[in-house]
Structure 1
Amino acid sequence: MMWILFVTIFIVLLTYWSFKKPKNYPPGPISLPIFGNLLSVWIALKTYKLHHVVWKKWSEKYGNIMGLKLGVLDVVVVTGKDLIIEVSNREEFDGRPDGLAFLMRSFEKKLGLVFSDGKIWNKSRKTVVKCLRNFGFGSRSMEYQIIEECNALVDYLVETAGQPIKANHMFNVPIINILWKLVAGKRYDIKDERLEQLCTLVYRSFKTNNMSGGPLSSLPFLRYVIPDTIGYTEAKMIHRELNAFFSEIIAEHKATVDPKNPRDVIDILLIDMMQNKEIFTMEELHVIMLDLLEAGVETVNNTTVFMLIHLLLNPDVQAKLQKEIDAEVGTRKPILDDRSRMVYTEAVILEALRISTVAAMGIPHKAMEDAKLGDYFIPKGTVILLSAYELHNGDHWKEPTVFRPERFITSDNKVRHEDGLLPFGLGKRRCMGEGLARSELFIFLTHVLQRFNIKVPDGDPLPSTEPVDGITLSAKDFNIVFEPRF
């Protein structure tokens, strides 16, 4: 009967551990043994639908620093501009979570650009940025690549003019091509079926979880019990398919690489490996490719799609935008130099970044050591979620639910830059692709609205601004008609 005693002691210790919170841990909902607040989250989602709304409602009760227990994870939700800025700029909060949901995508190791930290992250970011700059990243040549892809999209819209098009993923291939030309030295046709399938896989991977890590991270042992229910089976399949795609590209490069004439980022990294410089392993190369594929596509595509929705719902904004394009650009193609004169267009983009906030909780941080935040103790290893959606849509904004670009225009007709608008984060972990993303949003918006009026197909309902939950927020499916203006 000794085993019964051991099991009993184990259960008692597990129950005690799951109830126990560190001394002076931030306040939050009462947690249950083993599950912590997971059941409370599940119940709250029945009412509020979206994770970031649940965190907002609870933070209103428990404060701007709210402590949760999600299974095995200590999670702190931070709300408010000053606290978000503080966390973003403090080195001890620069870590990334260790949860299974985040490690599955990187061979269950901390690799790559997005979900690594410490020396690995510093090495990856420094090396990849240097390689990208060798091929024009951040330089004037990127503008030409953005315009090239935008021209291909406009040509496609001309072919399909007047026909209803599903808008949700229409920018995926052009956005991938802009960066992929530097990474892998190739571009894809806008109707390429293989790349469309890969974009679908990326989309599904972002919908199987949320930024807290979900059950895969909070109760990882469930993968051995109910792998299908918690998304483990699907996540494995998705990353197996994505890695097969990366393996094909790497194999093509290996077969044709010239050590004296690297063509792209993959070539440079492969040459370094061949010369035993030990810059990266093959696994690291896979994860870097995944990071570069995912990061730009989901955020820029989703923001652009939400921007189209708001233009459909606000035809007066669409008309003002087109009036400015006509006045400042005319019939020639817009370029980035036009931005400084196109105040209303910039305001539309800023308002889209604010009201949509597709990275509703940013990318999760992790406490690298025991720390104090406000009056509370944050234990080493705690996952920290920054409530970017509330920062951009809280009551401190006048009419936050109204799409009103004028809020970003001063009385003397200049762009107003609000320090409470932080769509790309702050500090060392600020998005390295911010400049590229802002350029893409401007070029895509101006090129499309210069050539087309956009409207909802006859008989279709107006598109919804209510997002679909996930690691990033995305729009519900809707159709759009592009009618040529000239």
Structure 2
Amino acid sequence: MSLIISNSLNSVSGIVFSDGATWTKTRRAVIKALKNFSHGSSSMENNIGEEVIALIEVIKENVGKPIIVNDMFDVAIVNIVWKLVAGKRYDLKDGKLRRLCDLITRSFKVVNMSGGLLTFMPFLRHVIPNLIGYNELRAIHNGIYKFISETIDYHKATLDTKNPRDVIDKLLIDTLEKQSETFTDEELQVTCRDLLEAGVETVSNTIVFMLLYLVRAPEVRTRLQDEIDRVVGTTRLPSLSDRSRMVYTEAVILETLRISSVAAVGIPHMALQDATLGEYVIPKGTFVLLAIHDLHNGCHWNNPHEFRPERFLTKEGNLIQSDWLMPFGYGKRRCIGEGLARSELFLFTTYLLQRFHLKIPEEDPLPSTEPHDGVTLSARKFRVIFQRRHSCM
């Protein structure tokens, strides 16, 4: 999807669809910038906690009422990523950011998991652009780029080379000082888009799937809340330092990542030379996709369609890290946001389940586990009633 838009701009840049020297340069610069702004530190935990607390305040306004949860986390997740990238957070009810979230969501749904005709026959965008969704995709990306371009322009106008505020500032300063080679305006825009889209859609969809499976499996939800009450209690907030003692919570997260497999296939890769895989010959230039959903729901797993966190626990209650679980990819192109995503999943889960019981409205059917297809998989719309667990909260 984004590959076609990048190609239409006469280049492939960013950190998702680029390769070779361009990818190496961009990834190195982005990782360096993220480290500069506390990616993976207590500051990151504070940023996540701030957004979860803001979301909880919104939920409190509707306690006891059915809430459609499918887009409930979008703005909070955008804020976490965008504070790192652009140094700014928005109110969860901000109209501008909600429109941006809508654009991101639509961009992932307008084509299918493998990219469809746009990826494999891109010339069709010149022949039947409306029929294959190219015009809609182009309009969506123009809207996203407009938001990003305005943000970059503001950073350029207010840049203090001695006091970088965020990732954009750091990349601009490195470019001025030639520390990471020159980033063109287009490369910077595409890189920001990659960080925004990849860091938002997958995490938000995974949290929604977790709620879906928790309301379908009350015994799992009860055991999860019992662990939160035992380890964290009710007088303080959960912390990332609690993770080592909350193996069942971690198992619930791993099982959600497995069974939902939001990124159903990996990012398209291309064979740079002829290769063999077992009895198969992969010619140079072939697009290769890792079938993550099939890997996570294949015969290796016992009853793979059953939501069972215990599959990630030993008989002694220790956590199992299975080599068959690859939600963030594998190898040198493994997702650079994995640490942030895992922290978000843990804190959103524990904050919400510490404070609220979850139930399906009596008049609603049990939500379907059948996903909506797209570049990523998303849950079909369903409603949840949040009920306070502890009066002091």
Give the Å deviation of 1:289. 0.7
Q: Among all aligned residue pairs of Structure 1 and Structure 2, give the percentage whose two residues are the same amino acid.
A: 59
Report SS of the residue matched to 2:219.
Answer: helix
Give the Å deviation of 1:159. 1.7
Report SS of the residue matched to 2:386.
Answer: strand
Distance 2:364 2:113 in 1: 33
Give the Å deviation of 1:425. 1.3
Distance 1:208 1:350 in 2: 28
**Are the counterparts in 2 of residues 468 and 474 from structure 1 also a CA contact under 8 Å?**
yes
Name the amino acid aligned to 1:463. Answer: P
Distance 2:168 2:123 in 1: 36
2:318 equivalent in structure 1: 414
From 101, 104, 108, the counterpart of 2:5: 104
Name the amino acid aligned to 1:327. Answer: R
1:295 equivalent in structure 2: 198
Distance 2:176 2:327 in 1: 39
Name the amino acid aligned to 2:202. Answer: T
Give the Å deviation of 1:430. 0.7
Whether 1:126 aligns to 2:28 is yes
**Are the counterparts in 1 of residues 6 and 12 from structure 2 also a CA contact under 8 Å?**
no
1:255 equivalent in structure 2: 157
Report SS of the residue matched to 2:215.
Answer: helix
Distance 1:375 1:206 in 2: 34
Whether 1:426 aligns to 2:330 is yes
Whether 1:305 aligns to 2:204 is no
Report SS of the residue matched to 1:386.
Answer: coil
**Are the counterparts in 1 of residues 111 and 374 from structure 2 also a CA contact under 8 Å?**
yes
TM-score (norm 2): 0.95
Distance 2:33 2:116 in 1: 34
Distance 2:2 2:201 in 1: 18
**Are the counterparts in 2 of residues 211 and 363 from structure 1 also a CA contact under 8 Å?**
no
From 278, 297, 306, the counterpart of 1:393: 297
Superposed CA offset, 1:300-330 (max 9, x none)? 1111100100001011111111111111110
1:451 equivalent in structure 2: 355
Distance 2:161 2:293 in 1: 46
**Are the counterparts in 2 of residues 269 and 279 from structure 1 also a CA contact under 8 Å?**
no
1:352 equivalent in structure 2: 256
Superposed CA offset, 1:132-174 (max 9, x none)? 1111012222111111111111111112211222111111111
Q: Point out where structure 2 has 5 or more consecutive residues left out of the alignment.
A: none
Report SS of the residue matched to 2:273.
Answer: coil
Name the amino acid aligned to 2:187. Answer: E
Aligned length: 387
Give the Å deviation of 1:276. 6.0
From 46, 70, 74, the counterpart of 1:168: 70
Name the amino acid aligned to 2:189. Answer: H
Name the amino acid aligned to 1:447. Answer: Y
Q: Which is further off, 121-130 or 382-391?
A: 382-391
2:123 equivalent in structure 1: 221
Residue correspondence of structure 1 range 1-16 to structure 2 within 5 A: none
RMSD between superposed Cα atoms in Å: 1.5
1:156 equivalent in structure 2: 58
Q: Which is further off, 102-111 or 437-446?
A: 102-111
TM-score (norm 1): 0.77
Give the Å deviation of 1:376. 2.6
Name the amino acid aligned to 2:3. Answer: F
Q: Point out where structure 1 has 5 or more consecutive residues left out of the alignment.
A: 1-99
Name the amino acid aligned to 1:422. Answer: M
From 275, 278, 281, the counterpart of 2:184: 281
1:63 equivalent in structure 2: none
Report SS of the residue matched to 1:481.
Answer: strand
Distance 1:275 1:315 in 2: 56
**Are the counterparts in 2 of residues 161 and 483 from structure 1 also a CA contact under 8 Å?**
yes
Name the amino acid aligned to 2:18. Answer: S
Give the Å deviation of 1:275. 4.7
Give the Å deviation of 1:224. 2.5
Name the amino acid aligned to 2:369. Answer: T
User: Which of structure 1's runs of 4+ aligned residues deviate more than 3 A?
Assistant: 272-278
Report SS of the residue matched to 1:146.
Answer: helix
Name the amino acid aligned to 2:110. Answer: T
Distance 1:101 1:337 in 2: 37
Whether 1:322 aligns to 2:225 is yes
